[in-house]
Amino acid sequence: MQLTTHRLNLPLKHPFTIARGTILSQPTLIVCLEHDGICGFGEVTENTYYGHSCASMSRSLQKVHDLLPRYAESSPAEVWPELLDRIPEDRFALSALDMAAHDLYGKRIGKTTRAVWGLKDQSIPQSSFTIGIDEVGKMVEKLREAAGWGIYKIKLGTRHDLEIVAALRRETNARFRVDANCGWEVEETIENSKALRELGVEFIEQPLPPQATIDQKREVFSQSVLPVIADEDCQIEQDVALCHGLYHGINVKICKCGGLTPALAMLRQARSLEMQTMIGCMVESSIGISAAAQLAALLDYADLDGAELLSSDPAQGVHIDHGTIQWSPLAGCGGTLKMTTLASFNSVHSPDEDC
């Protein structure tokens, strides 16, 4: 069982801005787990907000090298707790390895990952397309450039949030969702919810910061006229129960929770609590998107447009066609690297990065 990593730099079509900052490109770590000539792929992107770099995640993966042979005889779900015990501080790195393990497992037995889980390709939600924060006119231009999607997720957290949504609404009758990325306060959220409902917004994602008090979150939960979905407040399995009664639903990010194994458990737990379910993504390649899409049958909402924000993709697999998931013909998660193009993505892979 061999693990190889590739550090790549993903170019964006446009600068991507949320309430916390702007990026022009996205560094990402691609993991290849190989056994008997079959490769499983996983991905995790750098994230300064959560304190993870490609270098630090590569170092974390070195710590679990001796556990890799377990994947030859056990399922990814069986191995996952052992990995968490070894690198509890780095669920980002763990997520890429777990993703690669699920991909490898499916490819070895000739089944898609979702089929291994017993999920059917039925009631699959449409994905949204994200409009990052910018000047109002530029956000309108981005919407026009991405015409034809049925759902748009609008990044907010500015002094002109309602003006932004109103301007975009004049351009389309599509469904809107908004993500404040922890940028609002209690009264602001409640008042904005009323105006946003009139503008055809479906829900508000993570309006308050995680540091807000339980009473503040409960006030928003009870008084917002729109559903409120947790993102930063729901990172790991234990957070699902904590969000119950404070949020109407959860947005699971695979990189934050530690992989497909816990993501699957979180979504099933949320559904058992009658909470709405969503999978989100980072700006990432088709490796990460292909893995996240395997969970689609468990979702009320999908936000899987990360690869659509790139000007060039080093991978191929599951494709999001104006919101519709187009499945890959490959087993496992369905993604694969375009090996002949990696040099153009500034890969700095070298032998000493092998785990």
Write the CATH number for 98: 3.30.390.10
Q: Is 136 found in the same domain as 97?
A: no
Range of the domain at 31: 2-115+337-353
Amino acid sitting at position 194: K
User: Which pTM was predicted?
Assistant: 0.93
Q: Are 165 and 199 in contact (CB under 8 A)?
A: yes
CA 259/CA 312 separation, integer angstroms: 25
Q: Is 99 found in the same domain as 159?
A: no
* pLDDT 10s digits, 14-71: 877 776 677 788 999 999 999 999 999 999 999 888 889 999 999 999 999 999 999 9
Residue 275's alpha-carbon distances to 100, 173, 195, 231, 260, in angstroms, are 29, 27, 24, 13, 19
Q: Are 17 and 179 in contact (CB under 8 A)?
A: no
Q: What is the pLDDT of residue 122?
A: 87
Q: Is 170 found in the same domain as 94?
A: no
Q: Is 256 found in the same domain as 341?
A: no
Q: Is 144 found in the same domain as 15?
A: no
Q: Are 272 and 250 in contact (CB under 8 A)?
A: no
Looking at the structure of the chain, the number of domains it has is: 2
Amino acid sitting at position 127: S
What single DSSP character describes residue 264?
H
Q: Is 307 found in the same domain as 220?
A: yes
Q: What is the pLDDT of residue 347?
A: 53
Render 120-179 in DSSP notation, one character per residue: -S-SPPPBPEEE-S--HHHHHHHHHHTTT-SEEEEE--STTHHHHHHHHHTT--SEEEEE
Q: Is 179 found in the same domain as 46?
A: no
Polymer length of the chain: 355
Q: Is 250 found in the same domain as 132?
A: yes
CATH number at residue 154: 3.20.20.120
CA 119/CA 137 separation, integer angstroms: 42
User: What burial letters (b/e) apply to 70-83, b meaning 16+ CB within 10 Å?
Assistant: bbeeeebbebbeeb
Q: Is 140 found in the same domain as 226?
A: yes
> Which residues of the chain fall short of a pLDDT of 50?
348-355
3-state secondary structure 289-306: HHHHHCCHHHCCEECCCH
Q: Are 126 and 174 in contact (CB under 8 A)?
A: no
Q: What is the pLDDT of residue 15?
A: 79
Q: Are 97 and 83 in contact (CB under 8 A)?
A: yes
Q: What is the pLDDT of residue 354?
A: 33
Q: Is 284 found in the same domain as 342?
A: no
Q: Is 51 found in the same domain as 149?
A: no
Q: Are 342 and 6 in contact (CB under 8 A)?
A: yes
Cα angle 96-100-105, degrees, rounded to a multiple of 5 = 150
Q: Is 148 found in the same domain as 54?
A: no
Q: What is the pLDDT of residue 160?
A: 93
Q: What contacts 26, CB < 8 A, 6 or more positions away?
A: 9, 10, 12, 45, 46, 282, 283, 284
